[in-house]
Amino acid sequence: MSNRTEAAPLLAPRVIRREVVIVLLLSLGASAIWSLVSIVGTLTEPGGLADSVQSMNSARAEAERPWYDLAQQLVSLALAMAPVALALHFLSLDRGNPFRAIGFDARRPAFDLLGGAALAACIGIPGLALYFTARALGLNATIAAANLNDVWWAVPVLVLAAFKNAIVEEVVGVGYLVTRLQQLAWRPVAIVAAHSLLRGTYHLYQGFGGFIGNAVMGAAFALCFLKWKRTGPLVVAHTLLDIAAFVGYLLVAPHVSWL
């Protein structure tokens, strides 16, 4: 009996193209569209990018209702997994086990953890330098990465938010999308360019520095997936980067002015 993971695709190209559009419009593609709208609004405001502040991970309720805020945070994080589930479901229709198909499983834990940590180090330090440079040149908004109330659960929720971002962006944006583009016979250079452009665009709300930095990160992650056939290291790397950004901002920002 043939292995369905290695068999020729069962879906027609037109079906795959339609499926990709649906998945992206329910996830990262929608974020890219809103990011384009956001950057236009920022550029046409007095002060433009130089005076703009983009807030992330903000409180959803008043400080007097911390448990209600926590409930909303957790519900929002859980609902964000819906597009991931949809992408994995579509992959299962013709690729067998979708987790195995994109390397988001427990077959190589050491490789995923060590490779992810190394990738995070290679991306994180240059990315931070690019952010401060772009901000100094007025090409990037100031990013307020954590704006929760003073609550005991702030750090755990920020860690969960980092993990959520990593799963959505790497499973949908890399594992699912790259796999489908390969089935459509796209050349590797076109696949890398498409993912790079997508990742840069849905971060464009941060400014042009955010676009460039994330486009470069997208190209690196797409190349790694094409080589390794695994999203595991990418999820680890992305999670570490976002934890450093979110929790680091929460702990450091109250004590310094340069953030």
Tell me the pLDDT tens digit for each residue of 213-246. 999 999 999 999 999 999 999 999 999 999 999 9
Instruction: Tell me, yes or no, whether 202 lies in a domain.
Output: yes
Residue 165: inside a domain: yes
In a domain, 176, yes or no: yes
Query: Residue 168: which of 80, 79, 72 has the closest Cα?
Result: 80
**Contact between residue 102 and residue 91 where contact means Cβ atoms under 8 Å apart:** yes
Please give the mean pLDDT across all residues of the chain.
94
User: Does pTM surpass 0.85?
Assistant: yes
Token pair recorded at residue 28:
């990262």
CA 76, distance to chain mean position in Å, is: 16
Band (pLDDT 50/70/90 cuts) for residue 4 is very low
The first and second tokens of residue 168, run together, are 């959505």
Q: What pLDDT shows up at residue 254?
A: 79
**Domain limits for position 56:** 25-86+110-255
Judge whether 95 lies within some domain: no
Q: Is residue 174 situated within a structural domain?
A: yes
In a domain, 65, yes or no: yes
DSSP SS3 for 259: coil
- Look at the chain and report how many structural domains it folds into: 1
The predicted pLDDT at position 10 comes to: 78
Domain presence at residue 209: yes
Let me know if residue 16 belongs to a domain. no
142, 146, 149, 151 alpha-carbon torsion, rounded to 10°: -160
In this prediction, residue 3 carries a pLDDT of 46
